A and B are shown apart, each in its own frame.
Chain A
Amino acid sequence: MLTLYVGIASGLGACLRLLLMDLFKLSSFFSNLHFPVVTFLINIIGSALLGLLFWYVPSSDLNTILSVGIIGGFTTLSTFNNELLLLWKKHKIICLLYGTSTYLFGIIVVLITIK
């Protein structure tokens, strides 16, 4: 049963991700930037929230639903890698910057939230 709840929570997380991506596409400022700001923010904010949940909320079914479900479905590695490969063809510097900053900030925010 918990698997179903985690699944539903993941679906909601994925919808939230799509909503943010759609909203950012509406802004001409962000869509003209080659740096995928929205995926970057999604992954960093998601990592920070997961760190907080892991550290401050005692492990329970609700915690699993929130962390594995909502946050797990919200953040994504496949889109991130796909964007890296697309950027590499046209904007190599931005590609390197995007890749390094996502991994670096991802680890840093988790370190900050759990210490």
Chain B
Amino acid sequence: MITIKRYINVFLFGIIGGGARYLIELLVISPNGFPYSTLGINLVGCFLFSILIDYIPARFSLSNATATGMSAGLIGSFTTFSTFNLDAVKLVVHHQITFFIIYLFCTIFGSLLMNWTGQRFSQKLRRQMEVW
């Protein structure tokens, strides 16, 4: 299981994922301190993750190394848990408790919902693929 090829794939895809996250955080300026960028990144990433571990490898017959690169590398480094926590604590420190609750709620349930929706969408795409 531990092969150099998987690590190279995860590293290269990780550069794209992490670079994209940094660019989005630079470009999206929040008008009121609410961390829109991190929330958006995590929600979109969780949706894509479910498709990238199921439909995409099957559709394009990707090798195990490339598939791991796209899921664990690209999306794994695009989404982030640590920044979410720091953002959440910053909101508490700045006494933006309403934002804190909304942010927590949207991340916890929103990201789960996005992963789940991604799974359903991926299954639907796979069924269409089998019909062809």
| Chain A residues at the B interface, C-beta cutoff of 8 Å | 2-4, 6-15, 17-19, 21-22, 25, 43, 46-47, 49-51, 54, 64, 67-69, 71-82, 84-85, 99, 102-103, 106-107, 109-111, 114
Contacts and interface: CB of A to CB of B under 8 A. Distances in A.
Interface residues of B, number: 55
B82 A82 contact: no
A62 to B, nearest CB: 14
Interface of chain A, main secondary structure: helix
Interface of B: 1-2, 6-7, 10-19, 21-23, 25-26, 42, 45-46, 48-50, 53, 68, 71-73, 75-86, 88-89, 92-93, 104, 107-108, 111-112, 114-116, 119
A10 B118 CA distance: 24
Given A7-B22, A76-B80, 7 more contacts: A10-B14, A15-B11, A47-B82, A69-B22, A79-B76, A82-B49, A111-B92
Given A7-B18, A47-B85, A76 B23 contact: no
Interface of chain B, main secondary structure: helix
Given A79-B49, A79-B76, A10 B81 contact: no
A6 B22 contact: yes
Given A72-B82, A77-B84, A103-B108, A18 B19 contact: no
A54 B82 CA distance: 11
A14 B89 contact: no
A85 B86 contact: no
A78 B115 contact: yes
Contacts of B104: 103
A72 B77 contact: yes
A74 B83 CA distance: 11
A9 to B, nearest CB: 7
